[in-house]
Amino acid sequence: MLPSLNRLNRSLHRIPGWLLFCSLAALWLTVQVYFFQRLGVKLVPDSIVRYIPYANHIAETGQLGESQENRYILYILFLAFFIKLKLGLGAAVLAQIAASGIACILLFRSVRNLTNGNRLMAVAATTGFILWKDVQYLNVYILTESLFTSSILYVIYPLTKGNSSKHYAKSFVLSLIPMFLRPNGFIVLLGIIACWCYSYRHMLQPHKKAILLSFIIALSLLLFILDSYLLTTFQIVETYARGEIIYASGTYAVRAQHVVLPAEKSSPILRILFFVLLNPVFFAKIFFLKFIAFIGYIKPYYSLLHNVLIICFIYPLYLFAGYFIIKSKALALKAFPLTVFLLQATIVAMTSEDWDSRFIIPLLPMFMLFGITGLYGFIEKKEAISPPLAAL
């Protein structure tokens, strides 16, 4: 590492582990107390309409209903558990905060595992996670975002320790948490599958036909689930026709002129496909703008400081995460951020960006992990190819 960073890293290594842990824990606890005192248990329309009524029903009857909200079944069961025990939603929020605390610890350990035990990089990523407001304030919201964010870090952690079948088995099991938390949670499982396929690509090469057939079957099953279950309540084509980039908002909206709506009504996927075929240029335009709005993260209604911090902190993490993906040729784990990010970005571009960036926020700790790891690799590589000072 660079001499100044090396000295700082050595200084951190001289600090007893328990003292470093207590310092970061105190910072984390301060942030959690601040948001809990300021916001309390935060309810929003999704909480009131989607999650709490169904959780109450399950707590009272002990039975699942035939509801579209089963797409969020794990989160609803999570709320029902605390309601059933008469602990209230405040206890659910405290559980979300505790889950985020565990994720914070795993983030520290994951970065340390990927940077040869470098404490400086681990502290940098962990501090960024603790102090990034958009990640932490969601811990007190009755929404899936907090647990979804934490569960992504849970899934990644085993693969930072090793590449064996045991590590993949742990990550596969843990990936069931995000998959049943929210409809797009399957992207995390696909990220693990991508890592596994990359890791065992030489073993899989002789079975290309079987793999292709398995892929076609899996894709067909996914499309069937999307068409008959996950997309049935979303009016996606209607948002296209309104030219919306951010859902239910005029921000960045595109004027929808001469847009032709498809006659198909029963199949959401066919309806989207026909819209694309009938309006290819318009669709390409809104797809691209939603993709950029998702990645860009900044919003015109955010404060200047908020947008500046995004540009100065998050954008470099994007770049260094990209560096990690490109340069980590032997590391199968690089397939995870690439798969999860591209799938999430595509889903948003096919549907709508959210006004408060709730679709990119759960991925930010992932970028902190891989971005800081990429920064470490970049510094190490730069030092390795730079001539010694005496030669300059």
Higher pLDDT, 51 or 69: 51
Query: What is the average pLDDT across 112-116?
Result: 93
Average pLDDT, the chain: 90
Asked if residue 181 lies in contact with residue 50, where contact means CB atoms within 8 angstroms, the answer is no
What residue type is 374 in one-letter code? G
Q: Which residues contact 50 (CB under 8 A, 6 or more apart)?
A: 69, 72
DSSP string, 214-262: HHHHHHHHHHHHIIIIISTT--HHHHHHTT-SBTT--TT-----S----
Q: Tell me which of 67-71, 242-246, 275-279, 349-353 is least confident.
A: 67-71
| pLDDT bracket for residue 341 (50, 70, 90) | very high
The region of weakest confidence among 80-89, 200-209, 216-225, 237-246 is 200-209
Query: pLDDT band at residue 392, thresholds of 50, 70 and 90?
Result: very low
Number of domains the chain is built from: 1
Q: Do residues 152 and 370 make contact, with C-beta atoms less than 8 angstroms apart?
A: no
pLDDT over 90, % of the chain: 67
Which pLDDT belongs to residue 40? 95
The count of other CB atoms within 10 Å of the CB of residue 319 is: 13
- The per-residue pLDDT for range 200-236, each reduced to its tens digit, is 888 877 777 888 888 888 888 888 887 777 777 778 8
Residue 284, token pair as written in the block:
């390409």
Q: What is the pLDDT of residues 129-183, one digit of tens each?
A: 999 999 999 999 999 999 999 999 999 999 999 888 999 999 999 999 999 999 9
Q: What is the pLDDT of residues 1-12, one digit of tens each?
A: 566 777 888 888
**Which of 29-38, 99-108, 312-321, 348-357 is predicted with the least confidence, judged by mean pLDDT?**
348-357
Has residue 304 got a pLDDT over 80?
A: yes
Q: Which of 110, 173, 137, 188 is nearest to 358 (CA)?
A: 137
Distance CA(48)–CA(364), nearest Å, equals 26
What is the number of other CB atoms lying within 10 angstroms of the CB of residue 327? Answer: 13
Please report, as a single letter, which amino acid is at residue 173.
V
Q: What is the pLDDT of residue 389?
A: 34
Rounded average pLDDT over 64-77:
89
With CA atoms as reference, report the closest residue to 353 among 208, 216, 248: 248
What residues are paired with 246 via a beta bridge? 353
Return the pLDDT at 211. Answer: 81
Decide: 98 and 359 in contact? Cβ < 8 Å. no
- 10 Å CB burial of residue 43 (0-12, 13-18, 19+) is middle
The answer, yes or no, to whether residue 66 has pLDDT greater than 90, is no
**Residue 384: per-residue pLDDT:** 39
Domain ranges, residue 303: 3-391
pLDDT at 339 > cutoff 80:
yes
42 strand-pairing partners: 141
Q: Both tokens of residue 64? A: 């699942």
pLDDT tens digits, residue range 273-283? 999 999 999 99
DSSP class per residue in 299-339 = -TTS-HHHHHHIIIIIHHHHHHHHHHHHH-TT-GGGHHHHH
Helices and strands in the chain, H and E counts? 21, 0
DSSP annotation of 388: P
Instruction: Assign 150 to helix, strand or coil.
Output: helix
Q: Which residue has the higher pLDDT, 116 or 388?
A: 116
